[in-house]
Amino acid sequence: MVFIKRLVIEGEHELSGTIKIGGAKNSVVALIPAAILAEEATIYNVPAISDVKALEAITEYLGSDITYKNETIKINNNNCQNKEITNEFSSKLRASYYYMGALLAKYRYVEISFPGGCNIGSRPIDFHLKGFEKMGAKIKQEGDKFIIEAKNLHSAEIFLDIASVGATLNIMLAAVKADGTTYIYNAAMEPEIVNVAAFLNSMGAKISGAGTSEIKVQGVSQLGKGIVEVIPDRIEAGTYLIIGSLLGKNLVIEGIIKEHLESVLTKLHEAGADFEIKGTKIIVNKTKKLKPVNVRTLVYPGFPTDLGQPMSTLLTQCDGESLFEETIYENRMRHIKHLNSMGADIRLFDKKAIIKGKTNLVGREVIATDLRAGAAMLVAGMIAKGTTIITNIEHILRGYEKIVGKLSSVGAVIKIDEI
Ligand code: EPU
């Protein structure tokens, strides 16, 4: 018998208390594959999300010993072997592609099926593959399987057409054990890149420039033990900050790095949101009258694409006309029709949405079409009159840890129903 999980939310409850932010999904999903390169590794502050479980399963399948206890992952690679990562494993999430770079560095040979992940656009991996090819790899594609071999994995100067997070990380992983010094130009600058570079450096890698657009990786022949703490999830923090701006009463969001949230804080400030930053905490209150703003997603340090959708729900509560524009993916607007079904007034023009507010939202049954669309529907359900039911919540659970527990603890009326 198959059970369907749904999120059931009773809206309009005030939120106060403290929400603690967990480790960043988009960092940990690269750190776990990267750990394959170490003799043994410890990763602290690991969030309890299903993407972590999916990666644990891959590492275990490769023969490594992996344990996850008290937010800490320990990995020992003594018995790690190079095996084909089949569709059954790779299709669970996007980040399975980081085993390409990691296994290529470790064994010079990888067989892996095309990665899964949210359906938010075509999401090709051509930059990753072109980077490997420049480093001497030969790539064959059989159906959805890639066979990547680099008998002589060597350094290269790689210019990325787009500052891709995935390609930057994958090339960095391959380069740590390549012969010579690799340069990545137009590299992604996201904080997650800095976190992964620090982890690889703790093993003995020689990476500099992470966090800038030019990364230098001097290949080394041997890597030792690795240790790292996952940075706080800026997208989780941003999502709760948005919710707090709509429903908070001295709601405390704890464990943030302010610099990672600068674009989001700036935009919320422009909308007139009521928040105060105290070190690693943000105290946020419901804002009586929010002003309309224009939100355009960009690569870091611009406004993150992963927060565009939840932010679009906030824009329905601003007094006037706001613009929400997505520039990274083709398909980040699938939640709009669900917001409109709840009473929003949004006109969609391809990747631009004109959002007229303030509209009163009412509870409906809606779908989480992808992870961040799910977050947008969650925000909508929290502020809507009556009950909202969200289906397809597996997407949400891939990226937001203990979401029901965290929100219930500050006063939300929310539960997961299995039918
Ligand atoms: N792109 C290509 N070719 C490539 C790689 C990327 O055309 O070889 C394009 C993509 O199609 C996209 C743009 O470049 O239009 C940027 O993609 P990027 O590679 O930066 O994204 P990603 O690595 O696939 C990661 C996160 C995403 C997050 C983006 C941007 C993981 C597993 N995923 O994706 O997270 O939106 O960076 O910050 O880390 C999410 O958490 O909801 C999510 C989708």
For ligand 1, atom 9: residue with the closest CA: 123
CB 162 less than 6 A from any atom of ligand 1: yes
Helix (H, G, I), strand (E, B) or coil at 76: strand
Known active-site residue 118: yes
For ligand 1, atom 5: residue with the closest CA: 125
* pLDDT attached to residue 121: 78
- For residue 1, name the pLDDT band (cuts at 50, 70, 90): low
Q: Name the CATH code of domain 25-229 (choices 2.20.25.90, 3.50.50.60, 3.90.340.10, 3.65.10.10).
A: 3.65.10.10
The yes-or-no verdict on residue 402 having pLDDT over 70 is yes
Question: What mean pLDDT do residues 37-46 have?
Answer: 98
Residue ranges covered by each domain of the chain: 5-21+232-418, 25-229
CB 167 less than 6 A from any atom of ligand 1: yes
C-alpha 300 – ligand 1 centre gap (Å): 12
Q: How does DSSP classify residue 144?
A: T
**pLDDT tens-digit profile of 304-336?**
999 999 999 999 999 999 999 999 999 999 999
Ligand 1 atom nearest 168 alpha carbon: 19
Task: Return the closest-CA partner of residue 234 out of 8, 41, 26.
Answer: 26
Question: What mean pLDDT do residues 53-60 have?
Answer: 97
CB 121 less than 6 A from any atom of ligand 1: yes
Separation of alpha carbons 120 and 369, rounded Å: 9
Whether 25-229 and 5-21+232-418 are alike in CATH topology: the answer is yes
Separation of alpha carbons 84 and 147, rounded Å: 9
Separation of alpha carbons 198 and 221, rounded Å: 18
The reported pTM is 0.97
**pLDDT tens-digit profile of 341-382?**
999 999 999 999 999 999 999 999 999 999 999 999 999 999
The dihedrals phi and psi of 6, each to the nearest 5 degrees, come to -130, 150
The answer to whether the CB of 71 falls within 8 A of the CB of 45 is: yes
Peptide bond into 358 cis (omega under 30): yes
The CATH code of the domain at 5-21+232-418 is: 3.65.10.10
The answer to whether the CB of 208 falls within 8 A of the CB of 198 is: no
C-alpha 163 – ligand 1 centre gap (Å): 9
Helix (H, G, I), strand (E, B) or coil at 11: coil
**pLDDT tens-digit profile of 214-228?**
999 999 999 999 999
Task: Give the largest CA-CA distance in the chain.
Answer: 63
